């Protein structure tokens, strides 16, 4: 499968000058020359006019968009590709208002496009077990009470309160990838099962002094740094790598999105995690990596806004 390479928007437009080239590129990534029916994978497939195919066993027609994040949308693939390039390349993301101007669609459509793309950012390639030396830390997402007007402040939000903030647990294997999950709280009974799910037993785990991590010593080679005593490095123990991710994500939220719904927080976390995990990849490799994860990820607008 020969895929196009590009390093800039100019190269992207040269690689995909029209809708047909976009369709052919997506077909190459999804099927690699062997078209498979989304309705019956064992069925014979007939090629029809207009880039359509027919499943013999079910009699249904489909195209390369069927069953993907691009399904049932009137927006051209060329605009989708442009949106994906901009969205995945900008270190801090892009707002729906700016994307709407860049690719000439409505703000409402741009918001929907960005959420569908975030759906594809949850890539299984970065869900394999962590090991070796793994840094674990948590961060809280939400407005700072001291910056609010007096009538907008909430009582009892000091420390690790989750009344107005949502904690996110991050796990980073040094030299490898990161996994970040939104959690309800940072108690030991919440944190420990998640760590055990994603980090291989007997790995070298580095955390701060938070008591929610104390039980990890039973399953891992656990080392800590005492941030409250201004200790940030203790031999091999430090959490500087995962804290670098937190700083990037928070700068993106504060500078681009300003405010995000806790309902959609995990998708925003996945967005920043994929950019972090592919920070050393070439632009075209990251682009195709995300395109490889668009199948079986259809997201409807009603499901997105449903409370």
Q: Which tokens belong to 186?
A: 């940072």
User: Minimal CA–CA distance to 170: which of 247, 87, 256?
Assistant: 247
The tens digit of pLDDT for each residue in 200-220 reads 999 999 999 999 999 999 999
Instruction: Identify whether the C-beta of residue 223 lies closer than 8 Å to the C-beta of residue 237.
Output: yes
What was the pLDDT predicted at 194?
Answer: 95
Between the alpha carbon of residue 88 and those of residues 91, 206, 277, the distances in Å are 8, 30, 12
pLDDT at 184 over 70: yes
Q: From CA 122, how far away is CA 107, in angstroms rounded? A: 24
Band of residue 183 on the pLDDT scale cut at 50, 70, 90: very high
pLDDT at 169 over 90: yes
pLDDT at 159 over 70: no
Contacts of 17 (CB under 8 A, 6+ apart): none
Find where tokens 């741009």 sit: 110
pTM across the whole model: 0.89
Q: Give the helix ranges, DSSP H, for the chain.
A: 9-15, 19-31, 77-89, 96-103, 107-121, 188-198, 240-252, 265-277, 283-291, 301-305
pLDDT at 260 over 60: yes
The tens digit of pLDDT for each residue in 62-111 reads 999 999 999 988 999 999 999 999 999 998 999 999 999 999 999 999 99
Provide the mean pLDDT of the chain: 90
Please name each of the domains of the chain with its CATH number: 127-259 (3.30.420.10)
What was the pLDDT predicted at 306?
Answer: 79
Contacts of 156 (CB under 8 A, 6+ apart): 163
Band of residue 296 on the pLDDT scale cut at 50, 70, 90: confident
Between the alpha carbon of residue 99 and those of residues 82, 109, 128, 183, 256, the distances in Å are 10, 10, 32, 30, 12
Region at 90 (left for phi over 0; alpha for psi -120 to 50; beta for the rest): beta
Q: What is the DSSP string of 111-140?
A: HHHHHHHHHHHS-GGG-SPB-SEEEEEEEE
């Amino acid at each position: 499968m020969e895929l196009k390479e590009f390093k800039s928007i100019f190269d992207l437009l040269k690689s995909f000058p029209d809708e047909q080239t976009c369709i052919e590129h997506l077909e190459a990534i999804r099927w690699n020359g062997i078209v498979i029916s989304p309705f019956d994978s064992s069925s014979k497939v007939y090629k029809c006019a207009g880039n359509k195919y027919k499943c013999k066993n079910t009699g249904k027609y489909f195209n390369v968009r069927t069953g993907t994040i691009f399904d049932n949308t009137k927006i051209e693939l060329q605009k989708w590709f442009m949106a994906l390039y901009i969205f995945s390349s900008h270190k801090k993301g892009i707002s729906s208002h700016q994307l709407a101007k860049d690719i000439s669609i409505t703000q409402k459509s741009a918001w929907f496009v960005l959420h569908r793309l975030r759906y594809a950012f949850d890539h299984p390639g970065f869900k394999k077990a962590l090991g070796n030396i793994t840094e674990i830390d948590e961060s809280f997402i939400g407005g700072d009470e001291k910056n609010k007007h007096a009538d907008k402040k909430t009582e009892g939000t000091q420390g690790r309160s989750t009344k107005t903030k949502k904690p996110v647990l991050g796990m980073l294997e040094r030299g490898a990838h990161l996994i970040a999950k939104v959690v309800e709280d940072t108690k030991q009974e919440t944190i420990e099962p998640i760590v055990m799910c994603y980090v291989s037993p007997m790995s070298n785990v580095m955390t701060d002094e938070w008591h929610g991590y104390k039980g990890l010593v039973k399953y891992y080679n656990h080392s800590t740094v005492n941030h409250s005593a201004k200790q940030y490095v203790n031999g091999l123990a430090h959490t500087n790598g995962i804290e670098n991710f937190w700083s990037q994500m928070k700068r993106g939220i504060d500078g681009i999105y300003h405010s995000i719904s806790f309902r959609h927080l995990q998708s925003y976390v996945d967005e920043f995690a994929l950019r972090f995990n592919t920070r050393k990849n070439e632009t075209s490799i990251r682009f195709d990596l995300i395109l490889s994860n668009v199948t079986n990820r259809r997201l409807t607008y009603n499901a997105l806004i449903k409370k």
